[in-house]
Amino acid sequence: MSSTTVSVLMPVTEPLDVQSTLDTIRAYLASTGFEFEVFPIEQRGAEGLGLMLRRAVGEATGATLIIVDADLPYRVEAIGDAVALIQSGATDIVFGSTAVPVPGHRLLRSLVGAVPDPAVRLKAFSREAARLVIDETKIDGEGCDLEMAFLADKYGFRIETLHVELLRARRAKRTFLLASLYTALRVRLMNRRMGYRAARRCPVCFSNDIRTLTQISGNLVRICSRCKCRYLNAFAQESDVRPARRVLRAHLPTKELDALAGTDAENARQKTSKRRLATVRRHLTPRARLLEVGVRDGSFGSVAAREFEYVGIDDMPTAVRNARAAGLEVYAGTLSTFVNTGRYFDAVVLCHVFENMPDPHDALARIKDLLRPGGVLFLTTVDTEGLLYVLSEKKRIAQYFRQHMILYSRSALIELLEHSGFEINVIGPDFEYRDRRLVRHWIASQWPVLAPVANALIRFLPDPLLVGSGSIRVIAQRRAGPPIDAHVLRSVEPTHAR
């Protein structure tokens, strides 16, 4: 099947002369070069809109499915715009609307997610989205529009709104709010009774009570209502997964580069590493064997190798070369490919690396196999239940997920560790050292009004500063014997796929 094949579905629920509309659509699509087919869906007996669409989707063969109005109250070029959004990969579903954002009741949005504009019927679906969203609908009447919006959110499809201008005034098909709320509640109740196909489950707690939190570039951020974890809707392939993801940026101007080349930023990293090592040292004996997953700049390994038998792993070739040049024993690879040829480790350290692992259960099982009974796991990660994260989530959600795959809540992390064979010893906030220039820049970007006062006060503070990062620090101990409910966790197949 060609990737540019288009199926246009035109439900006819009222007595109209649709021949002129069909001619207009065919003439436009013929000028685009697409392979297309147009289905005027005529009503059979007491069929409703939902039943008509389900029947038509089964007959359509296009890679992109477009639902249009029979009287075509907007320009025909809107069909091409919707196809372009789908074909470019920018989104999976397009809802036409006479206004952006779509006007709708807040309660209705909380029940079904993105609310379709009742003034127009224009919608576009990729083939996969149509197969899951339209084929799964149960309502036969006009309420199937709200049902499709709910199912699009349930199955984690990206939705974009396409603004269209009406060529003539038109009354909305659905103007009674109580009828829409009744339909939305009916859909939610049907979902509660497992009336729809199960959606992909949470990768942390395996719950299917999840919803879309926000839409970012090329992906969705999903939230689990049970464990409060946030995660990306689509993970990279296993061969592309890196324990410490990095974002390439352009070179700084010479003056800025010279300013950052001083000792302040380097001291901040080293002091943070020494602080973390001091915490780990309390739980280890002299000359213990220590593994760090994700060596990054090698600052922790440089101080840890002086006291302990240090081993590091990282799949970034540059980080591995720099660490080896500094005399550290570092191997190229990931946690899933690392093979321990020596004795068991006494401690495993993961500093903001656990968020980048797509399968936390498998990662903890591998860590448990590397640790001796009673060994220590030192882990730092972002806390979605922390005050700093809650206050900055809306502004920084896209930044968080440029670097991470899963963000854990404190309660979910505790439950995950305990069911994976670890016993929590210490859990609390994680503090890091930051250069004063970075602190001034952060304050100026968040609260510009307070920047002059903050800059004056920061001059009298030590450099670097010890600040809270919105993360938590967990120190857990490997229990002897199998983990709790080990047969259940190990028998569950990967759940992060439709």
Give the whole-number percent of the chain exceeding pLDDT 90.
45
Map tokens 């504009």 to a residue. Answer: 117
Look over the chain and give the mean of its residue pLDDT values, rounded to a whole number: 83
**DSSP class per residue in 359-371:** -HHHHHHHHHHHE
Domain coordinates of the chain in residue numbers?
5-192, 242-491
**Least confident among 97-106, 131-140, 180-189:** 97-106
- For residue 442, CA distances in Å to 47, 172, 411, 464, 467 come to 59, 47, 29, 14, 12
Q: Give the pLDDT confidence of 267-324 residue by residue, as tens digits.
A: 888 889 999 999 999 999 888 999 999 998 889 999 999 999 999 999 889 989 999 9
Identify the CATH class of 5-192.
Answer: alpha beta
Token duo for residue 153: 């959110």
Tell me if the pTM is above 0.95: no
103 band by pLDDT with thresholds 50, 70 and 90: low
> Which pLDDT value is given to residue 94?
95
Question: What average pLDDT score do residues 322-340 get?
Answer: 91
Token duo for residue 233: 């809707």
For residue 430, list its beta bridge partners.
Answer: 471
Give the whole-number percent of the chain exceeding pLDDT 70.
87
Q: Give the pLDDT confidence of 411-438 residue by residue, as tens digits.
A: 999 999 999 999 999 999 998 888 777 7
- For residue 460, CA distances in Å to 138, 433, 457, 463 come to 66, 16, 6, 9
Task: List the alpha helices (DSSP H) in 73-202.
Answer: 77-87, 106-112, 127-133, 144-154, 177-192
Identify the CATH class of 242-491.
Answer: alpha beta
